[in-house]
């Protein structure tokens, strides 16, 4: 009787691709790394900002008013920061390249502090209007804008009145404050208007970039508001501090404030911000939003 064959056949295990090979599966850590380093789709950014706008439109008017007032006060540090840095520099062709760093301070405080700033809301608050396209949302957005803008301007008036106290700053700082206040009120209507469009556009670009900026948010805010500062583009809240300072210092009248500064700047900022949303950000995604199975959730 022959010995039974006790040898067993060994089948080579099927080889799975290693995680690092092309087409191979990623392990959990690598998947997390891939997600962390991937760029947000335009639709995701759109929805992040739309949801932010929806939340803002539902805020209580009192809370919104306090936040708007805080933003107006904080933006005074753009005017003050610009003058403080400028006063320490010699008159030279490169002076504006350096002193504009001070202009970014108010924006950093306001945006990182999540305070309600009108020129930010020209993007976030209008997205629900473009998606819903109904009168109730439009009325809510207009009401939101009125509360934020009026409280922003009240805040700028208060900080401008404080900065204009005699003897508060050294003479060289006061001279810089007066110089910037004069420059802010000396432009003609149309140049101020067109510069305001650029300022509104850049602030809207900044808001659009922030959701995907990650840990670079400070750099994004600083760089784009630095460009606004270098160009001396008209910003309705930051510039209101300059112009109000000119009024409190006796260099301008309230009529000048409203007609030479506020009117062209407000209209220009709004056109720049809303145009940025409607033409360059929402319009390319409108068809995708309409066709999405979950489109009703947008409404």
Domain-located, residue 15: no
Which tens digit of pLDDT belongs to each residue from 236-270? Answer: 999 999 999 999 999 999 999 999 999 999 999 99
pLDDT of 33 over the 60 cut: no
- Burial per residue of 133-172, b for 16 or more beta-carbon CB atoms within 10 angstroms, e otherwise: eeeebeebbeebbebbbebbbbbbbbbbeebbeeeebeee
Domain-located, residue 231: yes
pLDDT of 271 over the 90 cut: yes
Which tens digit of pLDDT belongs to each residue from 196-216? Answer: 999 999 999 999 999 999 899
Domain-located, residue 17: no
CATH number (domain holding residue 196): 1.20.1080.10
Please tell me which residue, 44 or 159, carries the higher pLDDT value: 159
Domain-located, residue 222: yes
Minimum mean pLDDT range among 29-43, 65-79, 155-169, 260-274:
29-43
The total number of structural domains that make up the chain? 1
Domain-located, residue 28: no
Give alpha helix (H) positions in the chain: 28-37, 42-57, 61-87, 95-112, 118-124, 126-132, 135-163, 171-186, 189-209, 217-231, 238-248, 254-256, 263-275, 283-291, 295-298
Domain-located, residue 276: yes
Domain that holds residue 74: 40-298
Domain-located, residue 23: no
Query: Which tokens is 267 given?
Result: 């209209």
pLDDT of 164 over the 70 cut: yes
What's this model's pTM, rounded to 2 decimal places?
0.85
Domain-located, residue 31: no
Minimum mean pLDDT range among 2-11, 225-234, 242-251, 267-276:
2-11
């Amino acid at each position: 009787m022959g010995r039974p064959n006790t040898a067993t056949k060994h089948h080579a295990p099927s080889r799975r691709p290693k995680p690092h090979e092309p087409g191979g599966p990623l392990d959990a850590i690598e998947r997390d790394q891939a997600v962390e380093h991937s760029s947000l789709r335009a639709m995701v950014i759109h929805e992040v900002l739309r949801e932010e706008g929806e939340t803002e439109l539902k805020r209580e008017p009192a809370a919104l008013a306090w936040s708007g007032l805080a933003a107006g006060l904080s933006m005074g540090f753009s005017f003050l920061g610009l003058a403080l840095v400028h006063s320490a520099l010699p008159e030279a062709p490169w002076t504006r390249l350096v002193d504009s760093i001070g202009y970014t301070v108010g924006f950093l405080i306001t945006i990182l502090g999540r305070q309600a700033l009108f020129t930010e809301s020209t993007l976030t608050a209008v997205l629900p209007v473009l998606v819903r396209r109904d009168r109730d949302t439009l009325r809510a957005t207009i009401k939101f804008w009125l509360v934020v803008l009026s409280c922003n301007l009240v805040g700028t008036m208060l900080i401008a009145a404080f900065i204009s106290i005699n003897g508060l700053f050294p003479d060289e700082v006061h001279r810089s404050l007066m110089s910037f206040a004069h420059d802010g009120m000396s432009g003609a209507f149309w140049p101020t208007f067109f510069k305001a469009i650029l300022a509104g556009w850049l602030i809207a670009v900044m808001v659009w970039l922030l959701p995907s900026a990650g840990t670079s948010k400070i750099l994004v805010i600083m760089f784009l508001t630095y460009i606004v500062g270098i160009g001396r583009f008209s910003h309705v809240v930051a510039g209101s501090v300059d112009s109000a300072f000119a009024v409190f210092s006796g260099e301008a009248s309230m009529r000048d404030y409203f007609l030479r500064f506020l009117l062209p700047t407000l209209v220009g900022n709004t056109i720049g911000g809303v145009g940025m949303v409607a033409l360059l950000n929402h319009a390319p995604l409108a068809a995708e939003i309409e066709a999405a199975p979950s489109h009703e959730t947008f409404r």
